């Protein structure tokens, strides 16, 4: 059992070990939905919500699996929980904001296969966090994901206006930008104690 | 002169060869389709890790494509994605335990990324787009080709990053002792840069080809 405070876990997940830029989790939506600032922000919100829900569920499942002595079912149980909570979020968004539902398109069901969410569930189990620590870890991961997505979207909106050589256009320039952003985030490493 | 049976035989053979080869280059999951990027970027800081994640993903993909292809008539359309994920998750669990038994060091180096093979969109994508509507032989060839293509992509990142960032390849010294390693290459930004540069190179080759025509 670790004794790290909730605040340090939160900062660690959000900035120092940013889920997207330092641990490479959730790269697909990071490259796919980061073309517009507005969509990026809402995608971040949806992912953060699913992270929190699945983190709470994963905590309960892990306790239950230890009691019945079947840790090999962990992965299968987590993925089912995540798939159902994505379904839940999808229904909520469809009901309350049809415009956002259309804007997110295929990336909404694809949250299921977003490795950041399964990553939160797996890492919090591996690090043996208690309930409050798990919650702050999930919240930090969600905030970190949103920050990375929004920063990237801002940069890509600027990029639209500049003239880029046709050889570099598309995925290549996006990845190099992500590399520079990731280098900037390495500056936070000094904050770790 | 070939008998009709023999010509059908060759046709089936060439079709499987075609399904195998397309994954290597023309439809390479990483360089062309940009699928399954997370493990490609995360664990390719050395060539041996890149090889291990490639092999593990190939293993999971071939086995899950086999089951998906065999069970395509049994799985109802409405719950197919959930069923595919469960099939994949089962094989990933198997792989994780096998790898832990075979090489504990590699298992430790790859960490959670073995378990995260479950959410590799490449595997689910092939199950949905190919294995669920083709016969067993073609599905296995397709999965194997995609797996090898994925491994090639991982290796092309892993070797460059290990050589530049550490001065070694598969743990052997490549440069003389006065070589100053580019530490950034084995750190997270290096992954983005190397993949970006590979894509740039392929774009450049494509542009030159088009210009020549």
Whose CA is closest to B114, among A56, A63, A115?
Answer: A115
- Nearest Cα of chain B lies from the Cα of A7 at a distance, in angstroms, of 24
Q: Write out pLDDT tens, residues B5-41.
A: 666 666 666 777 887 877 777 777 777 777 777 788 8
Q: Higher-confidence residue: B78 or A59?
A: A59
Q: Which of A79, A169, A184 to mutate to test the interface with B (most CBs of B within 10 A)?
A: A79
Q: Could you tell me the residue range of the domain that residue A149 belongs to?
A: 6-182
Is the confidence at residue B178, as pLDDT, over 80? no
Report the domain count for chain A: 1
Residues of chain A with pLDDT under 50: 1, 193
**Domain residues of chain B, as ranges?**
19-212
pLDDT of residue B8: 64
Report yes or no on A155 lying in a domain: yes
Is the confidence at residue B63, as pLDDT, over 90? yes
Report yes or no on A94 lying in a domain: yes
Tell me the ipTM for this assembly: 0.80
pLDDT of residue B1: 44
Is the confidence at residue B146, as pLDDT, over 80? yes
Report yes or no on A193 lying in a domain: no
Q: Compute CA A125 distance to the chain's CA centroid, rounded to the nearest angstrom.
A: 17
Q: Which of A75, A85, A114, A173 to mutate to test the interface with B (most CBs of B within 10 A)?
A: A75
CA-based R_g, chain B, Å: 19
SS percent in chain A: helix, strand, coil, step 5: 80, 0, 20
Its pTM stands at 0.83
pLDDT of residue B59: 93
Report yes or no on A187 lying in a domain: no
Cβ contact A25–B190 (<8 Å): no
With CA atoms as reference, the chain A residue closest to B124 would be A113
Which pair of tokens denotes residue B111?
């960490």
Q: Residue B50, exposed/middle/buried by CB under 10 A (0-12, 13-18, 19+)?
A: buried
Report yes or no on A154 lying in a domain: yes
Report yes or no on A129 lying in a domain: yes
Rounded CA-CA distance A29/A149 in Å is 8
- Nearest Cα of chain A lies from the Cα of B191 at a distance, in angstroms, of 8
| Residue tagged 């970190």 (tokens) | A144
As a whole number of Å, the end-to-end CA separation of chain A is 18
């Amino acid at each position: 059992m670790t004794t790290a405070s909730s605040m340090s876990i939160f900062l660690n997940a959000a900035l120092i070990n940013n889920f997207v830029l330092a641990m490479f989790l959730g790269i697909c939506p990071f490259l796919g939905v980061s073309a517009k600032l507005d969509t990026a922000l809402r995608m971040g919100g949806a992912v953060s919500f699913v992270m929190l829900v699945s983190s709470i569920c994963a905590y309960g499942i892990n306790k239950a699996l230890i009691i019945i002595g079947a840790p090999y079912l962990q992965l299968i149980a987590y993925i089912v929980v995540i798939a159902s909570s994505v379904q839940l979020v999808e229904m909520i968004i469809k009901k309350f904001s049809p415009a956002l539902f259309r804007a997110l398109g295929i990336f909404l069901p694809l949250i299921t296969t977003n490795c950041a969410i399964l990553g939160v569930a797996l890492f919090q189990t591996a690090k043996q966090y208690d309930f409050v620590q798990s919650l702050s870890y999930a919240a930090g991961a969600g905030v970190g994901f949103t920050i990375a997505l929004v920063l990237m979207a801002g940069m890509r909106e600027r990029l639209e206006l500049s003239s880029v050589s046709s050889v570099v256009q598309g995925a290549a320039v996006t990845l190099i930008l992500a590399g520079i952003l990731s280098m900037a985030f390495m500056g936070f490493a000094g904050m770790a104690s | 002169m070939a008998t009709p049976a023999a010509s059908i035989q060759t046709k089936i053979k060439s079709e499987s060869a075609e399904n195998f080869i397309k994954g290597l280059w023309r439809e390479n999951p990483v360089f062309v389709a940009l699928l399954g990027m997370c493990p490609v970027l995360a664990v390719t800081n050395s060539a041996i890790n890149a090889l291990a994640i490639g092999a593990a993903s190939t293993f999971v993909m071939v086995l899950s494509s086999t089951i998906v292809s065999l069970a395509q008539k049994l799985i109802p359309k409405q719950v197919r994605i959930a069923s595919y994920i469960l099939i994949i998750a089962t094989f990933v669990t198997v792989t994780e335990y096998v790898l832990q038994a075979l090489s504990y060091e590699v298992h430790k180096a790859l960490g959670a990324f073995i378990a995260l093979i479950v959410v590799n969109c490449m595997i689910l994508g092939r199950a949905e787009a190919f294995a669920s509507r083709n016969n067993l032989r073609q599905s296995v060839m397709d999965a194997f080709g995609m797996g090898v293509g994925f491994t090639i992509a991982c290796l092309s990142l892993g070797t460059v990053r290990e050589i530049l960032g550490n001065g070694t390849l598969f743990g052997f010294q490549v440069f003389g002792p006065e070589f100053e390693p580019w530490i950034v290459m084995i750190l997270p930004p290096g992954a983005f840069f190397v993949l970006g540069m590979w894509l740039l190179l392929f774009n450049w080759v494509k542009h030159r080809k088009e210009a020549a025509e």
